């Protein structure tokens, strides 16, 4: 009997433009966002290799400027219109204001200021301050600023070493320890650090794609007054709920699979090799992702149907379910702040277990079969719990006729 109800609800859903829109729009929107986002990240990384550095007072630091140019930094000499302060060794307030206006107006992302007595102080084995003016909120300029700052620091260390050598002192005296970084992360692990958004989009798809059907078969039917005639039939309430649940599950599962396929397709078009990363997801990884995420297609519609029964209209249900849509964000933020690897207890937490397993699969690791089984069975248990709760609510006249 529940299969008949499922077919009936699927026919209604296929005629509903809102349900079809939710099924098709998100699977397309998510991969498009990922494609453009990763291309932007790659463009920013490539731009960091071609840095044009605006410098004020470049003539006062000839050795530093030569060092920067030898390391691929293009120097852009900037002349100020504001008058200098003859009583100050550095730049006047009017000149600093002119620099600030140039940065805020996006003429420059950052500017290096070198004082007039820089070469004189360095030649006398003294220290001198230089200023790198920037706007820290411009994240696209951060790699360039980091490269310039690193080169200036390296020039400073080289200059200090030459001073020691000139005095007959071994530079190793002031550097007793050298830290050598050895990255043991696999290529696939580095891929995962960049692809952290993929599990989030896949989990969101399970909630978004089936939500239209879940709302329509509950609050929508209450609003149209078509739920009461259905309940008059001599059919157990749980059969009706299961039929509606399965219809929403079909939409959720189709949307989830579409999002996963289109995500992997869009990532295959992104030139990740330009930043030294090889994206290689084979059939084994795809099967692992499917096994990990498909139980979400059972869980998301079950909780949406349970909540949708409390709504008196389609508009009310959308308001209630807007809070439910925040649930997929919790595993994403937990994974960002998590300092440990996946643990056994996470398999029993809805969505968190799937998110951590999906992260491991994308990273190239192969979790134990028991982890997949426990994570899937726990989601099935929670899904049946919400379905049972919805069937009990269907028996209450106050819920149906209010």
Judged against a pLDDT cut of 80, whether residue 146 lies above it is answered with yes
Pick 358 or 297 by higher pLDDT: 297
| DSSP symbols for 193-245 | HH-THHHHHHHHHHHHHHHHHHHIIIIIHHHHT-HHHHHHSS--HHHHHHHHH
The residues with which 53 forms a beta bridge, in sequence order, are 75
Q: Write out the H or E segment, with its range, that includes residue 294.
A: none
Q: What are the phi and psi torsion angles at 170 (to 5°)? A: -70, 125
pLDDT interval class at 401 (50, 70, 90): low
Report d(CA 21, CA 387) in Å as an integer: 25
Break the chain into its structural domains and give their ranges: 2-41+188-401, 49-182
Measured distance between the N- and C-terminal CA atoms of the chain, rounded to whole angstroms: 27
Q: Which of 383, 384, 376 is CA-nearest to residue 347?
A: 376
For residue 280, the model assigns a pLDDT of 60
Provide the CATH topology of domain 49-182. D-Maltodextrin-Binding Protein; domain 2 (3.40.190)
Q: What is the mean pLDDT of residues 4-26?
A: 72
pLDDT interval class at 19 (50, 70, 90): low
Report d(CA 178, CA 383) in Å as an integer: 55
| DSSP symbols for 314-332 | HHHHHHHHHHHTTTTHHHH
Render pLDDT for 249-289 as a digit per residue (tens, 0 to 9).
Answer: 888 888 888 887 887 777 777 766 665 666 666 666 667 67
For residue 385, the model assigns a pLDDT of 92
Report d(CA 188, CA 275) in Å as an integer: 14
Judged against a pLDDT cut of 60, whether residue 187 lies above it is answered with no
Judge contact between 231 and 394, C-beta under 8 A. Answer: yes
Q: What is the largest CA-CA distance in the chain?
A: 100
Q: What is the mean pLDDT of residues 32-56?
A: 76
Q: What is the mean pLDDT of residues 9-15?
A: 72
For residue 185, the model assigns a pLDDT of 61
Pick 108 or 180 by higher pLDDT: 108
For residue 262, the model assigns a pLDDT of 82
For residue 6, the model assigns a pLDDT of 79
Q: What is the mean pLDDT of residues 44-71?
A: 83
């Amino acid at each position: 009997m529940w299969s008949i109800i499922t077919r009936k609800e699927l026919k209604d859903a296929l005629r509903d433009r809102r349900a079809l829109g939710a099924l098709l729009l998100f699977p397309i929107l998510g991969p498009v966002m990922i494609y453009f986002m990763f291309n932007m990240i790659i463009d920013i990384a490539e731009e960091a290799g071609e840095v044009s550095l605006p410098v004020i007072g470049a003539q006062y630091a000839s050795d530093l400027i030569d060092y920067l140019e030898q390391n691929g930094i293009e120097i852009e000499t900037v002349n100020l219109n504001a008058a200098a302060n003859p009583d100050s060794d550095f730049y006047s307030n009017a000149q600093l204001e002119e620099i600030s206006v140039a940065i805020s107006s996006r003429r420059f992302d950052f500017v290096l200021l070198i004082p007039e007595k820089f070469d004189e102080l360095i030649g006398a084995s003294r220290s001198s301050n230089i200023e790198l003016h920037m706007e820290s909120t411009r994240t696209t300029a951060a790699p360039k600023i980091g490269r310039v700052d690193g080169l200036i620091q390296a020039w400073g260390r080289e200059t200090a070493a030459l001073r020691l050598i000139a005095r007959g002192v071994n530079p190793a005296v002031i550097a007793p320890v050298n830290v050598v970084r050895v990255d043991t992360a696999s290529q696939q692990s580095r891929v995962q650090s960049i692809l952290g958004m993929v599990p989030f989009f896949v989990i969101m798809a399970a909630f978004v794609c089936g939500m239209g059907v879940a709302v329509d078969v509950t609050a929508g039917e209450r609003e149209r007054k078509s739920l009461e005639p259905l309940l008059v039939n001599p059919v157990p309430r749980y059969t009706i709920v299961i039929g509606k649940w399965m219809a929403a599950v079909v939409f959720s599962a189709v949307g989830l699979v579409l999002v996963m396929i289109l995500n992997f397709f869009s990532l295959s078009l992104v030139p990740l090799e330009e930043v030294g990363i090889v994206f290689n997801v084979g059939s084994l990884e795809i099967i692992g992702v499917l096994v990990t995420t498909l139980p979400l297609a059972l869980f998301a519609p079950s909780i949406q149907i349970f909540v949708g029964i409390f709504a008196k209209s389609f508009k009310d249900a959308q308001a209630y379910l807007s809070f439910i849509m925040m649930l997929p964000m919790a595993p994403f933020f937990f994974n960002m702040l998590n300092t440990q690897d996946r643990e056994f207890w996470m398999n029993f937490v809805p969505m968190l277990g799937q998110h951590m397993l999906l992260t491991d699969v994308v990273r190239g690791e192969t979790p134990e079969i028991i982890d997949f089984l426990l994570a899937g069975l726990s989601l099935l248990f929670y899904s049946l719990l919400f379905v049972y709760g919805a069937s009990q609510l269907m028996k209450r006249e106050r819920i149906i006729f209010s």
